[in-house]
Structure 1
Amino acid sequence: MNRHVGASFTLSVLVVVFFAVILYEPDHTRSRVPASEPEPVEASPTPPPPTPGVPLIESTANLLPEPSPTLAASPSSSRPIEAVVSLAPVPPPKPPAPSPRARVPAPDPRAVVQVVSRRQPPSPPPPPGRHSAFTQVAEGESLSDVALRVYGTSEATTSLWRANRDIIARRETPLAPGLVLRTP
């Protein structure tokens, strides 16, 4: 048994504690405690509903912020502000008028083809689709010819060779006609 197991264990615990202290990030949303909790306010009885057609006068003196030195010097800030509010029936909102749908003519496919053909050279035909996971080598075909026939590009020669390394020794090895190759 290891005779330094106690020292190794202690060192491991100290390393874990060190990184726990260094990487600790407290959750500020939970630890935030308000300095003073607001006292509950009792709700006053609801005021009677206003009479239609009678103007309301409401004093806003209690809604003003504390006066600053510049505001205290002005004569208008020393008196309360009163506002006249009248209740008028609110008409229901009008639904939006239905807009007539504009007919959009169908695009002319010839115009689209003409624009595309002017800007881009014609793309090569898509490679012939694979029908199975195997292909048979024709007479005189090399590995790059098979890749071109199956995938549409000779750049897939490497992947075709890797899939058939047990049959083909090297990439340049001539292929026998009728040989069946795996196509990945």
Structure 2
Amino acid sequence: MAENGAEPAAAQQAPQVNQRIVAQFIRDMSFENIMAQRGVGGDVQPEIAVQVNLDARKRGENQYEVVIKLKITSKNKEGGDNLFLLEIEYAGIFEITGLPDEQMHPYLLIECPRMLFPFLRRIVSDVTRDGGFPPLNLENIDFISLYRNEIARRQAEQAAAKTDA
């Protein structure tokens, strides 16, 4: 203890953030092997497009559900024929304490998806391989940029709504 009964500066820090993944699971998944259904053959050069959406909601006291939604389409570069479509919603249940309310939204949409992503990447790789394609190893997703872009989009919508009113 310091003089005058004051606590040392280190003991006066902000509360410690504690977080744990309670569960993670596939909420919904669909894999359509269009190439096999149509009997497309020959030399195929896939072109991959990935769309990412995030969702988060409070489930109870200190518990939150975070969902990464991916829509992955693959087309043949030559001719543009669809090869496959993979849609997956991968969820995690997080227990989070010690985080100020104003920091919760970015934490849920940046840090939590970052923790789930390696597991989702593995599932996508396995599903595409099991579907008869080379395993699709997704590049890392910049969840910070996704979050910033979504905030900017919402602000632009609000500004447009105000000017229209």
Whether these two folds match at TM > 0.5 is no
Q: TM-score range by the shorter chain?
A: under 0.3
Pair member with larger Rg: 1
Length-normalised TM-score, structure 1: 0.19
Higher relative contact order (CA 8 A, sep 6+): 2
